[in-house]
């Protein structure tokens, strides 16, 4: 039996100092397989971003365990979690989070350099990802010179450039108009499925929900599967 790509085991999260306050996430259970596209829905403040942060080893649960490829995140120190994020995970955010003082190429080179990939190999990988996201020719431009949809595609390229096995996307279309959002999600879906990557996306977009393999809803702190 293969090990799940992501497994959440009785995960609880409270932001109260002693962990005894109201639970944002209450004994959440979930298993996500390699290559799946799973959408997380829920009202604003329901815990969607919190859940992604726990899966992404950005935050730690108050109780329970998060497992990535059989590795229990709670067994890792901060250095171990940082290495896991750097090597296995890619992140896409609502507000792009590109570094404004770096060019497009420099934004993409940064995660490669952190993983020890430099020189011609890194430049080739950047060129490949820009071509795959239909952005060839903008390598030397700065984020502020790009339209919103272009910035988000750069952010997608940056999330994928180091070859992560899991991509976490937090409301990636929330800052875009419908037409641009549809195009951006199509690129993300195509590149993740083409690379056999697991994609977990928090969203309110009904158009995105239609592309997913499964939809999970956060309701009163619990995670439940719902029809698409």
Please state, rounded to an integer, the average pLDDT across all residues of the chain.
Answer: 92
pLDDT reading at 227 higher than 90: no
Q: pLDDT tens digits for 124-177? A: 999 999 999 999 999 999 999 999 999 999 999 999 999 999 999 999 988 888
| Neighbouring C-beta atoms of residue 27, cutoff 10 Å | 15
pLDDT reading at 19 higher than 90: no
pLDDT reading at 1 higher than 70: no
pLDDT reading at 8 higher than 80: yes
pLDDT of residue 228: 73
pLDDT of residue 97: 92
Q: Which residues contact 18 (CB under 8 A, 6 or more apart)?
A: none
3-state helix, strand and coil shares in percent for the chain, rounded to the nearest 5: 35, 25, 40
- Stated as kind and residue range, the H or E segment containing 218 is strand 214-219
The CATH fold of domain 6-226: Rossmann fold (3.40.50)
Structure tokens at 46: 């329901």
Percent of the chain exceeding pLDDT 70 equals 98
Whole-angstrom distance, CA of residue 200 vs CA of residue 179: 22
pLDDT reading at 39 higher than 80: yes
The residue ranges of every structural domain in the chain are: 6-226
The answer to whether residues 8 and 29 touch, using CB atoms and an 8 Å cutoff, is: yes
| Neighbouring C-beta atoms of residue 210, cutoff 10 Å | 11
| 3-class SS of residue 143 | helix
pLDDT reading at 102 higher than 90: yes
pLDDT reading at 188 higher than 90: yes
Structure-model confidence comparison of residues 119 and 175, the more confident one: 119
pLDDT of residue 217: 96
What confidence category does residue 190 fall into, taking pLDDT thresholds of 50, 70 and 90?
A: very high
**Nearest of 150, 153, 169 to residue 55 by alpha carbon:** 169
CB burial string 111-130: b at 16+ within 10 A, e below = bbeeeebeeeebbebbeebb
Structure-model confidence comparison of residues 73 and 177, the more confident one: 73
């Amino acid at each position: 039996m293969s090990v799940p790509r992501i497994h959440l085991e009785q995960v609880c999260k409270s932001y109260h100092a002693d962990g005894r306050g109201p639970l944002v996430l209450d004994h959440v259970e979930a298993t996500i397989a390699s290559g799946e596209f799973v959408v997380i829905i829920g009202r604003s403040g329901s815990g969607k971003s919190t859940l992604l942060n726990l899966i992404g080893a950005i935050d730690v649960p108050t109780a329970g365990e998060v497992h990535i490829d059989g590795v229990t995140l709670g067994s890792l120190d901060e250095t171990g979690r940082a290495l896991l994020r750097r090597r296995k995970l890619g992140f896409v955010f609502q507000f792009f989070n590109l570094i404004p003082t770096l060019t497009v190429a420099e934004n993409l080179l940064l995660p490669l350099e952190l993983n020890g990939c430099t020189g011609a190999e890194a430049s080739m990988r950047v060129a490949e990802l820009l071509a795959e996201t239909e952005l060839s020719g903008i390598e030397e431009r700065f984020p502020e010179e790009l339209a919103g949809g272009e910035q988000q595609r750069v952010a997608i390229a940056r999330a994928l450039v180091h070859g992560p096995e899991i991509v976490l996307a937090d409301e990636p279309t929330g800052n875009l108009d419908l037409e641009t959002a549809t195009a951006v999600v199509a690129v993300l879906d195509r590149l993740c499925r083409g690379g056999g990557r697991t994609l977990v996306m928090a969203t309110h977009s009904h158009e995105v929900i239609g592309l997913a393999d499964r939809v999970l809803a956060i309701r009163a702190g619990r995670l439940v599967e719902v029809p698409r």
